[in-house]
Amino acid sequence: MLWRIFSQVAKQQQTISLSGGRQDTKALYAFHETIINMLRPTLKEGVNSIIIASPPKANFSQDFLSHIKAHHSWLIQGKNKAVISQITGSAITPSQLAVLTSEPQFKQLIEETANKETENLVEILEKRLNTSENLVLFSLQEAENFILSQQPVGKPQPEYLLLTDDYLAGSRQKGRLHRLMQVAQNKKIKMRVISAESNAGKRLTQLGGIVCLAKNG
């Protein structure tokens, strides 16, 4: 069962069935590949936090992690690597998920996973800052000009829009900002609102509170 967890709600995405027993290596391989393929669209949106829940005394999550390490190392390496965590529990039904997500352990895991993800984003930011190319834009005006207009093929393209929660809350131009965020979402640009109290948020604050990261076209 795949779930998309938001701040106040969880939405069911897909139910994937294992055709055959877990001792059938071909069936298990196909099962894991199906999960990866179901995750791809979400990962392309920039969602890089994955939590795997499996029942007590089961090795389901470890089997899936072993599959990732053997066949999909891109998921845990490189600039867009995912943060993958494990938790013991069942998340098949909405009621089971509600119990699991209400536990202090889950909330702590969410916080730790989010911190790791933002650390990865800071790594990307620092690397872009250290290039000779203009791949980081530092203001609302620059981000607007870049994101709202169509960039020529072969030229740098917008990849991330990052801002702190303090910047969002304190902006005197919320209409412009929300419009930019909506356009960025429509264009499938990866967007993050980051706590200003986190290390990543403090770095963003040093840069003005909002940055747009570009990638080479």
pLDDT of residue 217: 67
**Structurally, how many domains does the chain consist of?**
2
Q: Do 12 and 93 fall within a single domain?
A: yes
Query: pTM for the full model?
Result: 0.68
Q: Do 207 and 136 fall within a single domain?
A: yes
Is pLDDT of 47 > 90? Answer: no
At which of 73, 102, 131 does a domain end?
102
In angstroms, how far is CA 197 from the centroid of its own chain? 19
Q: Do 76 and 144 fall within a single domain?
A: no
- CATH number of the domain enclosing 185: 3.30.1330.30
Tens digit of each residue's pLDDT (9 = 90 or more) over 117-149: 888 888 888 888 887 677 899 999 999 999 999
Tens digit of each residue's pLDDT (9 = 90 or more) over 68-124: 999 999 888 876 688 899 999 999 999 999 999 899 998 888 888 878 888 888 888
Question: What one-character-per-residue DSSP string does 11-31 give?
Answer: EEEE-----S-TT-HHHHHHH
* Containing structural domain, residue 61: 2-102
The helix (run of H) or strand (run of E) holding residue 213 is strand 210-215
pLDDT of residue 79: 66
The mean pLDDT value of the chain amounts to 89
Could you tell me the pLDDT band of residue 182, with boundaries at 50, 70 and 90?
A: very high
Determine the Cα–Cα distance for residues 170 and 174; give it in Å rounded to an integer. 9
Determine the Cα–Cα distance for residues 169 and 195; give it in Å rounded to an integer. 11
The helix (run of H) or strand (run of E) holding residue 83 is strand 83-88
Is pLDDT of 54 > 90? Answer: yes
Determine the Cα–Cα distance for residues 213 and 128; give it in Å rounded to an integer. 8
DSSP assigned state of 207: T
